[in-house]
Structure 1
Amino acid sequence: MSVTILIPAFNEEGALPALIERLAALDPKPAEILLVDGGSEDATIALARDAGWRIEKSDKGRALQINAGVAAARGDKVVVLHADTLPPLDMARIIEDTLSDSRIALASFTPLIKGPDKTRWFTTFHNWIKTWYAPLLTRPHHFVRGVRLLFGDHAMFFRKADFLSVDGCTPSDAVMEEADLCVKFAQLGRTKMVPRWVETSDRRIAEWGPLKANWIYFKVGMLWTFGMRKRMADHYPDIR
C-alpha cells in the first residue's frame, strides 16, 4: 500500500483509543499512520506514540496541520482522517482502487454520523445532500463538471503530488478548509464520494442539539460562499 493516513489532532485523547483500535485492524495496512499535532495539552501525543504512529508537530489549525502532514507524508496517496472518525477496515484498498482512475482528483468516503446511543440519520442525510446542493448553489460552473463539495468528516483522499500542485489548503482558513480544497482540485479532475461509510462522532450534535447543529453547518457554509471567511470560526466553536 502507498497510502498515508494523516490525522490532524488537537487534544483528542478522548477519541483516540477507539481510532487506534480500528486502525490496528486495517487490512491491508497503510504505508504509515501520521498524526500531526497542533499543540495538544493532553495525552494525544503519548497515545499516538504508544500506538506506533509517526508524529509531526505543527502550528494549530487544521489547514496548517494538513499542509504540514502532506508535505511529510511518505505515501504517494493521502487520506485526511479526523480523530473522531472510524474508517472501514479495507480503507487503504478503497483508496488505491478509487485513485487508480486518473479522472478522479479528489474523493472521500460517506460519513455516517453516530454516537454511543444513536445514529443521526437526519444530519447524515443533510451531510450527504449538502455535497450536491452546496456547489450547485455556490459554484454551478464547477457543479456541471461533476465537482461535489466534500468535507472533513468525509475522510477526503487524494494524490500527494496533486495536493502539492494546487498549493494545498489555504493556510489562513480556520474552518471550511476542505471546501476550498475541493475548488482547487476542480482544476485537475472530478471529485467523488465513495459509497462506503466512515463512522464520525456526533459530539457536536450532542452538544448543540440537531436543529442548532444543522443551522450552524448551513450558516458557516453560507459565510464561506459569500467570502466572509474571518467570521466563520466565530460561528463554529470547538467541541471536544
Structure 2
Amino acid sequence: MSRVSIIIPTLNEATSLGRTLRCLQALDPAAWEVIVVDGGSEDKTVEIAKAAGVPVEICDRRGRSIQMNQGAKVATGDILCFLHADTWIPDDLIAVIQQTLADEKVVAGGFIALMAGTQTTRWGISLHNYIKTYYAPLLFKPHLFVKGLRLLFGDQVIFCRRHEFWECAGFDENLPIMEDGDLCLKLVQKGKIRLVNRIVQTSDRRVAKWGSLKATRIYLYIGFLWGFGASATYLKQFYEDIR
C-alpha cells in the first residue's frame, strides 16, 4: 500500500497539538511518518511534539505555505497529508486516504470538517463550509467544476500524491492565505478532487473569538473576493491569526 506522510505546520499550538498527536498515535494502520514543521513557536509546541516522539523541522520563515512545503521536501511517503494542529481525525484516516487515491483519476482529496469547541458544535458554519466545497468552484470556475474541481481548505485535511504535488510546484509561498484553494486549482489540471464522505473535527476558536455572524461575513467576503480575483495579500488583512 502507498505510504502516507502526515505534515503538521505549527506556530504556538501548545493548546491543541497534544490532542492531535494522540489521535495520530491511534491510527490503524499507522502513518508512514509524522513531521511537525514549526515556524518559531514561543510556547511549548516543540516540546510537546518531541515528547510524543515526533520529529520537528524548524522553519526559519513563518507561513503555512512555507512550512508545509518544507515538510513536503523532507517527507519520504508516496502520499502527502497536510493536517492542522487543531484538527482531530478518525483512526482509519490512512486507510481512507489510500482507498481514495487508489482511483488513478483522483488526484487529491479532503474530508468534511465539523467545527466544534468544548461546549459547542458549529452546525451552521460547518454546513456552509461543506456546501462551499461545491458551490464556490461551480460559481467561479464552472469549467473546472465539470473536470472535478472541489474547493478544499486546510481544516479538511488535504491529501495528494507527492509527485503530483511537486509537479504543481507545491503551495505558493507568496500566498499568506488561500494557499489551499490555489493548490486545488493546480491539482485539478491532473485529475479529480474528491470530498470524502467522512468527518474530521476542527477547532472553532476563530468563530468563538469573532462570533458566528462575524465569522460567516468574513468567510463569505474573503471567498467571493478571492473568486473574483482579489489578491491573497489584500485578503489577509481580514483574517487575523488566532491561537
How does the TM-score come out when normalised to structure 2? 0.96
Unaligned runs of 5+ in 1: none
Residue of structure 2 equivalent to 1:113: 115
Q: Secondary structure at the match of 1:118?
A: coil
1:234 to 210, 220, 237: 237
Residue of structure 2 equivalent to 1:130: 132
Q: Is the 8 A contact 2:18 2:49 kept in 1?
A: no
Residue of structure 2 equivalent to 1:32: 33
Residue of structure 2 equivalent to 1:194: 196
CA distance in 1, matches of 2:240, 2:230: 19
CA distance in 2, matches of 1:57, 1:222: 35
Q: Is the 8 A contact 2:177 2:233 kept in 1?
A: no
Single out whichever of 7-16 and 134-143 deviates more from structure 2.
Answer: 134-143
Q: Secondary structure at the match of 1:14?
A: helix
Deviations 1:69-128 (A, max 9, x none): 111111110110000000100111111111111100010011111111111100010000
Residue of structure 2 equivalent to 1:93: 95
Q: Is the 8 A contact 1:223 1:231 kept in 2?
A: no
Unaligned runs of 5+ in 2: none
CA positional deviation for 1:222: 2.2
CA distance in 2, matches of 1:40, 1:124: 29
Q: Which amino acid aligns with 2:21?
A: I
Moved over 4 A (4+): none
Q: Which amino acid aligns with 2:47?
A: A
Residue of structure 1 equivalent to 2:54: 53
CA distance in 1, matches of 2:9, 2:225: 24
Q: Which amino acid aligns with 1:3?
A: V
Q: Is the 8 A contact 2:112 2:198 kept in 1?
A: yes
Paired-residue identity, %: 44
CA distance in 2, matches of 1:60, 1:19: 21
Deviations 1:107-154 (A, max 9, x none): 001111111111110001000001111111211110111211000110
CA positional deviation for 1:4: 0.7
1:104 to 103, 106, 119: 106
Q: Which amino acid aligns with 1:222?
A: F
Single out whichever of 86-95 and 224-233 deviates more from structure 2.
Answer: 224-233
CA distance in 1, matches of 2:11, 2:226: 23
Q: Is the 8 A contact 1:112 1:199 kept in 2?
A: yes
Q: Is the 8 A contact 1:4 1:34 kept in 2?
A: yes
Deviations 1:137-179 (A, max 9, x none): 2111101112110001100000000000000111111111000
CA positional deviation for 1:64: 0.6
Deviations 1:159-200 (A, max 9, x none): 000000000111111111000000000110000110111000
CA positional deviation for 1:223: 2.8
RMSD: 1.0
Residue of structure 2 equivalent to 1:73: 75
Q: Is the 8 A contact 1:110 1:194 kept in 2?
A: yes
Note the 1:172-211 alignment, pairs <5 A.
172-211=174-213
CA positional deviation for 1:228: 2.5
Q: Is the 8 A contact 1:223 1:229 kept in 2?
A: no
1:140 aligns with 2:142: yes
